[in-house]
Amino acid sequence: MYIPEQIGNYTLDREIGNGATSQVWLAHHTQLPDHLVAVKVLMSQDRESVRRFHREAAIAARLRHLHIVQLYDYGYAPPFYYTLIEYIVGGSLRQLVEKQGRLQLGATLDIFRQIAAALDHAHSLGIVHRDVAPGNILVEQGTGRALLTDFGIARENGQSITVANAIMGTPGFFSPEHIQGSHAVTHLSDLFSLGVVFYHMISGQMPWDEPPGLPNSPGFSPPAPLRQRGVDSLPGDVDRVLLTMLAIDPARRFPSARAAVDELDRILSRHQMTTQIILGTTPPVSPPAPAEFQSGGIISNDVETILGPDLIRAPIDRAHRRAEELRSPAKITSLLDAWAAQHRFGLRRKLLGRLARLHKITSTNVYFYRLRLLYEQRSLAEHDEEPDHSAQPFALTPEVDRWKIDLPPVTDFVAHPGNQITLPGSTRIVSCTSCEGRGSTPCPRCNGKQRVLVTRPLALPVEAITTAATLAAGTEGGARSVNGRLRSSTASASSSPTSGVPRTEQVLVPCPECAGRGGITCPRCAGVGRLIQRKTFRWSRHTTIIQGQDDRPALDENWLHRTCKAEMIYHERQADGFRPEWSMIATLAPILAQAQQRADADTRIVLSEVTVSFIPVTDVVFDLGKPGDRGLYRLSIYGFEHMIPADWRFFNWERVITICLVAFFAVISIIFAVFAFT
């Protein structure tokens, strides 16, 4: 398609770049030949391309930043839409890396800082670039100024998405959210891409052996350490910064590009100071005199050092900003003055902040640990048996250990009463030891003799029965005439052998228990003589929680949790035990050891979860004009709320004594008045 020699007031000189739907030409002003611009001409005329071109121009027009290519104008020269943009003498970062390979640390950091600043500016306006890659970063020749360009697929907050499931961006540099679709891409996705760009500059290679996210390629994973790419001159903490920027979970990345720059600068400044001390050949003649006032940021701690890539970064960076803010003596003075004035009775020393002469300000984080555990118990195997009625064969398989049996999968911390499980491969047929395989056992009543001796009533002859009846009738008649004779007759009958009292005898009868067989069916094998024997065990699951925190003497924990909000920064689970890095944290290690003590050969930890939260603390050391160490005071400022606990040392004792005296004399006066009027 023919492109005119002139567009607007600019004459096109030569083509300097092209894309899928556009060409970029170098042009000069017709009246000002030294004024050069880049003209981006849209070659495609379809509706969607025109809409995207117009949107890119609208977004670029809002951006005014030293490290973002500036848009000068936008227009239509039939049949082409075009934009006039700032011309940068130089080339892209992609061309620079292809030509030089890995860049020097200084150049890498300069480009990284400049593009980070450009991204933060765009993000502050709600604009997500969505294609941060070396091909969209220009490096100005001579000055080294880096500029972010090509907002062709950028998106503003609240803007509708035309193709929600499309994957847009440069392969190898887009984030895990890109493959989820356009709706999932946020400013944190730009930070992921910036991390890949930094890795690419410092190593000349990509963080992965194969670019993730493409068809038939591996999924996203942590980047290879820089040492594996031949970069061994940087401290290992630089890898931690990259792990944070390239975290798969967006919440674990730095909240802003500036936060990543600050963290990298802190690491490299410590590294450079250490290097200077090690390489220094002339030791100082005498140690430097202690400064009158010292202040610093957050003291290095195990949690950030060890768990850094897995932390939720926003609260951590907020704590760093708080620490920087509280390094200011003016800020501390203001907080102490406000705290002194807050007492309801005005009993604290007024203007405490102005009276205080600051010596040292240090900030740290108090961490709270919560270990949640799911224990699983499996009892020792016991024999279970049943009669072998069917005589069916069983498959010959190796016996499986109880801890290798698959149980209901563990998906959450849910207690389970469990049940009884048979060990595969433990089934066997055995002879019944109770009956020795005969199927019957001697009758316990007759002991196999088939007969038992029983006692039964002795039967009387007929004449004895008649005599007893006559005697009974006579006795009855006598009873009607003489009561005393009745009694003697009765007594005589009772003692007579034929008085009717039953007599017994013992005889042998067939044993009723075994029906005279002398044996019974074996209750253990049900008469089969064989048993199916298996090994079984019982299992169950139960949960528990163990908590701990960093030791801080003289701290009222109830007050702290009541007045300050703890920010959660870590929440991770691990199946079958603990993550190795957990035990590397000094305060968390004893908690893990306590949990491990509850496990043994029959009990294991099948799921664990560590939650870490923190409250930032700033300690202020000062004096009130008293010389010597005894005049030093220490106050702690807790939380993002800047709370200071009550402290009797800073009462205005003169006012307290005056109030007490006034109250005492008032009470005495009332007592005298009462006695005077009674």
Residue 150 · residue 85 · CB < 8 Å: no
Q: Which of 669, 427, 666 is nearest to 536 (CA)?
A: 427
How far apart CA 269 and CA 275 sit, in angstroms, is 10
How far apart CA 315 and CA 364 sit, in angstroms, is 13
**Length of the chain measured in residues:** 678
User: Residue 196: what pLDDT?
Assistant: 96
3-state helix, strand, coil in the chain (%, to 5): 35, 25, 40
Report the percentage of the chain scoring pLDDT > 90.
51
How far apart CA 492 and CA 219 sit, in angstroms, is 113
Residue 11 · residue 28 · CB < 8 Å: yes
Q: What phi and psi values does residue 209 have, to the nearest 5 degrees?
A: -70, -35
The predicted-structure confidence for 252-305, as pLDDT tens digits, reads as follows: 899 899 999 988 988 888 766 544 444 444 444 333 333 456 766 787 788 988
Mean pLDDT of 466-494: 46
Please report which confidence band the pLDDT of residue 159 belongs to, taking 50, 70 and 90 as the band edges. low
H or E stretch covering 41: strand 36-42
Please report which confidence band the pLDDT of residue 133 belongs to, taking 50, 70 and 90 as the band edges. very high
Mean pLDDT of 520-524: 92
How far apart CA 67 and CA 197 sit, in angstroms, is 16
pLDDT for residue 233 is more than 60: yes
The predicted-structure confidence for 189-228, as pLDDT tens digits, reads as follows: 999 999 999 999 999 999 998 888 777 778 889 999 999 9
Helix and strand totals (H; E) in the chain: 15, 24
User: Residue 473: what pLDDT?
Assistant: 52
User: Residue 289: what pLDDT?
Assistant: 33
User: Residue 669: what pLDDT?
Assistant: 81
Close Cβ partners of 601 (under 8 Å, ≥ 6 residues apart): none
* Cβ neighbours of 137 (radius 10 Å): 25
pLDDT for residue 574 is more than 50: yes
Q: Which of 180, 179, 65 is nearest to 127 (CA)?
A: 65
User: Residue 286: what pLDDT?
Assistant: 36
User: Residue 666: what pLDDT?
Assistant: 81
Q: Is the peptide bond before 497 cis (omega within 30 degrees of 0)?
A: no
Higher pLDDT, residue 295 or 147: 147
3-state secondary structure of 64: coil
Mean pLDDT of 432-457: 90
3-state secondary structure of 75: strand
Helices (H), 125-208: 187-203
User: Residue 193: what pLDDT?
Assistant: 96
Q: Which of 422, 413, 412 is nearest to 378 (CA)?
A: 422
Q: Which of 292, 290, 287, 289 is nearest to 621 (CA)?
A: 292
Residue 172 · residue 143 · CB < 8 Å: no
pLDDT for residue 98 is more than 60: yes
Nearest-10 Cα torsion for 5, 11, 15, 21: -70
**Lowest mean pLDDT across 34-38, 84-88, 474-478, 665-669:** 474-478
Q: How far is CA 245 from CA 32, 238, 239, 253, in A?
A: 45, 11, 10, 5
Domain ranges of the chain: 6-86, 90-275, 318-373+541-646
How far apart CA 513 and CA 23 sit, in angstroms, is 108
How far apart CA 396 and CA 299 sit, in angstroms, is 64
User: Residue 267: what pLDDT?
Assistant: 85
Higher pLDDT, residue 234 or 270: 234
CATH class of 90-275: mainly alpha
pLDDT for residue 490 is more than 50: no
- Give the bridge partners for 383, in sequence order: 535
Pick the CATH number of 6-86 from 3.30.200.20, 3.40.50.720, 3.40.50.300, 3.40.50.2000: 3.30.200.20
Helices (H), 571-610: 588-597
Please report which confidence band the pLDDT of residue 344 belongs to, taking 50, 70 and 90 as the band edges. low
H or E stretch covering 571: strand 567-575
Annotated active-site residue in 131, 262, 310, 317? 131
Q: Which of 67, 69, 65 is nearest to 84 (CA)?
A: 69
The single-letter code of the amino acid at 14 is: R
User: Residue 21: what pLDDT?
Assistant: 84
131 is known as an active-site residue: yes
How far apart CA 211 and CA 224 sit, in angstroms, is 12
Core vs surface per residue 458-469: b (16+ CB within 10 A) or e: eeeeeeeeeebe
For the full predicted model, state whether its pTM sits above 0.85. no
How far apart CA 451 and CA 517 sit, in angstroms, is 9
Handedness of CA 620, 623, 627, 632 (dihedral sign): negative
Q: Where are the beta strands (DSSP E) in 220-379?
A: 294-298, 357-378
Close Cβ partners of 165 (under 8 Å, ≥ 6 residues apart): 181, 182
Residue 591 · residue 371 · CB < 8 Å: yes
Close Cβ partners of 368 (under 8 Å, ≥ 6 residues apart): 547, 548, 549, 550, 566, 612, 613, 614, 615
How far apart CA 642 and CA 316 sit, in angstroms, is 16
Helices (H), 526-652: 557-563, 588-597
pLDDT for residue 155 is more than 90: no
User: Residue 625: what pLDDT?
Assistant: 72
- Give the bridge partners for 409, in sequence order: none
pLDDT for residue 656 is more than 70: no
User: Residue 281: what pLDDT?
Assistant: 45
Question: Mean pLDDT, the chain, as a whole number?
Answer: 84
User: Residue 200: what pLDDT?
Assistant: 96
**Lowest mean pLDDT across 67-81, 569-583, 625-639:** 625-639
Mean pLDDT of 391-396: 86
Residue 68 · residue 56 · CB < 8 Å: no
- Give the bridge partners for 140, in sequence order: 90
